[in-house]
Structure 1
Amino acid sequence: MSASPTWDPALYVRFGDHRGRPFFDLTSRIGAESPSHVVDLGCGPGALTAALADRWPEALVEGVDSSPDMIAAADRTTPGRPRLSFRLGEIVAWEPEDDVDVVVSNAALQWVPGHQALIGRWLEQLAPGAWLAVQVPGNFGAPSHTLLRELAESSQWERRLRGVLRHSDAVGEPAEYLELMLAAGWEADVWETTYLQVLAGEDPVLNWVRGATLRPVLDALTPEEGAQFEEQYNQLLLDAYPARDDGTVFPFRRIFCVGRKPDGLAYLV
């Protein structure tokens, strides 16, 4: 997918419970007791970063995001907390300061081509005892994505959307992230989970993908074209994800990777 889509913070948090659960499943595996400097890369609108500040109130907690709208939303929703801050920045340009001992990136690295090399650099740069926790979506083979790709490659849209979507190399498989950590000498805990999300309302899957997956397409089209594309795409989604009386089931696979750089003092818990 495109590395720099535009973002609508209100739209992104519309499914806050579903988007937040993987974050807490990820960070619950971090065993740090009293870190000094925690960084959340791709922090979005900041509510989940604030949860890190709640967990470690003595730590400096910093959120970094490439979207000015997301950083503005984070500043608005978490005022008056001197040890919690947010700043604009690109993940690819970020390097850990010497005191950074917890790094979290939740559902952000799929937007960064070649992020495995970036993770490898962090594994080398972070100090002994540091923790790294990463979560990326693993659903690029799901109907929501294959149908999007097929429509974008159709005769009507191929010229306008050529090169906008990337799926085959957006993320690795769990074994790839495990090997990255083990090869760097880290202790590693890697797993995957498929959440069977029950979405409510009209056109629920379309509304879900508007928050992230569909952003590069809409950025590339005019508003009129975007509305036409959405209408065609939504018909495909309604067939692929039929509504039930109790909602629409939307399976979502996530890949998790948590590691600690050994210093001989602690282990994954």
Structure 2
Amino acid sequence: MLDWNPALYRRYEDERTRPAQELLARVPLTEAARVVDLGCGPGNSTELLVNRFPKAQALGTDNSEAMLVSARERLPQARFELSDIATWAPQSAEEAPDLIYANASLQWVPDHEKLIPRLFDALAPGGVLAIQMPDNRQEPTHRLMRALAAEAPWAERIGDADKLRTLLLDLRGYYDLLAPRAANVDVWHTIYQHRMADAASIVEWVRGTGLKPFVDRLPPDLQASYLAEYQRRVDEAYPVRTDGKRLLAFPRMFIVAQKKA
């Protein structure tokens, strides 16, 4: 997959940051020595951690150098490193974080049955694992991505659309993974309703995230035809409201688990 586009991602930064704020608000820590933002992107979520825990050593990780450049410009006081969440771990037990925070990043990482317990076990005693993930696989935006990817002339280049994103557990599954080893597990589900100008705005939103692995596999001519047909179908799926806007329903799941002290 091609590198991420920080400018495109940040075009809807306020909307993308709202779930990050609501996730952090439920973290039951009054102070922290070390906090880690897994999949920090352009640093908008890391900035929340720095503001909440100003005395903590803050580390942001991402697998996109472009995103890290943007994050370093935004937060020169924090440390950022290029790494893969699938293999990330603290360098030593002494560096175990008090907070591992993953906002809209783990949905790109496979094998959650092993990943989530491993991240939880990497915490310091009393530490918190806080996760937010989009749960929009069955929303029209994402059903249409996969439907188009199975049609000619795009199917041959895109391949198996089901392999382009991790299949998530449901909330009960994540609860069951963490509850036996945690002091407390808090899980919840929120459906945001984002007010969008038109169908093109909805396409622009998802092109910065979920649509990216689909269009990245296509040459320019097929990208153009795929996006044109995708926007036409999005226009049908999201009708105009009484104020001329569209409502983009965006379900997200939240998990906050605290380790025993």
TM (norm. structure 1) is: 0.91
TM-aligned CA deviation for residue 50 of structure 1: 1.5
Structure 2 CA distance for partners of 1:46 and 1:21, relative to 1, 3 Å: same
Listed as ranges, the matches of 1:67-82 within 5 Å are 67-79=64-76, 81=77
Native 8 Å contact 1:6 1:215 kept in 2: no
Q: For this pair of structures, how many residues does the alignment match?
A: 257
Provide the residue aligned with 1:153 in structure 2: 150
Deviation string for 1:4-45 (max 9, x for gaps)?
Answer: 553100000111111011101111111111100000000000
2:82 aligns to what?
88
Alignment partner of 1:64: what SS?
strand
Q: How far 1:168 sits from its partner (Å)?
A: 8.2
Equivalent residue in structure 1 for 2:210, among 210, 213, 237: 213
Q: Deviations over 1:68-87 (max 9, x none)?
A: 100011112223x2xx1111
Amino acid of the residue matched to residue 252 of structure 1? F
Is it true that 1:29 corresponds to 2:23 in the alignment? no
- Greater CA deviation, 131-140 or 92-101? 92-101
**Offset of 1:120 from its aligned partner?**
1.1
Counterpart among 227, 248, 251 of residue 249 in structure 2: 251
Matches within 5 A, 1:1-269: 6-79=3-76, 81=77, 84-96=78-90, 97-98=92-93, 99=95, 100-166=97-163, 169-201=166-198, 203-244=200-241, 245-263=243-261
Cα 1:122/1:168, change in 2 over 3 Å: closer
Conserved 8 A contact 2:107-2:165: no
Q: Give the secondary structure class of the aligned counterpart of 2:257.
A: strand
Cα displacement string for residues 141-196 of structure 1 (whole angstroms, at most 9, x for unaligned residues): 11111111011011322211113543785211111111111022341000000001
Letter in 2 for 1:77: R
* Separation of aligned partners in 1, 2:201 and 2:75: 29
Bigger Cα displacement from structure 2, 143-152 vs 88-97: 88-97
Quickly say closer, same or farther: Cα 1:169–1:111, change in 2 above 3 A. Answer: closer
Q: Secondary structure of the residue that 1:57 maps to in structure 2?
A: coil
Find runs of 4+ consecutive structure 1 residues off by over 6 angstroms.
none
List alignment gaps of at least 5 residues for structure 2.
none
Secondary structure of the structure 2 residue equivalent to 1:224: helix
Three-state SS of the structure 1 residue aligned to 2:210 is coil
Three-state SS of the structure 2 residue aligned to 1:116 is: helix
Moved more, 136-145 or 118-127: 118-127
CA separation in 1, counterparts of 2:2 and 2:120?
27
Paired amino acid for 1:158: A
Contact kept, 8 Å, 1:164 with 1:220, in 2: the verdict is: no
Unaligned runs of 5+ in 1: 264-269
Q: CA deviation at 1:105?
A: 0.3
Kindly indicate whether the alpha-carbon contact (under 8 Å) linking 1:164 and 1:216 is maintained by their aligned counterparts in 2: no
- SS state of the match for residue 247, structure 2? strand
Distance in 1 between residues matched to 2:14 and 2:115, nearest whole Å: 29
- SS of 2:11 mapped into structure 1: helix
1:221–1:168 Cα change, 3 Å: closer
The 1:58/1:211 distance shift into structure 2, 3 A limit, reads: same
Could you tell me whether the CA contact under 8 Å between 1:6 and 1:219 is conserved in 2? no
Distance in 2, Cα, partners of 1:11 & 1:167: 20
Identity of aligned residues (%): 37
| Alpha-carbon contact 2:182-2:257 (below 8 Å) kept | no
1-side partners of 2:105 and 2:129: how far apart? 14
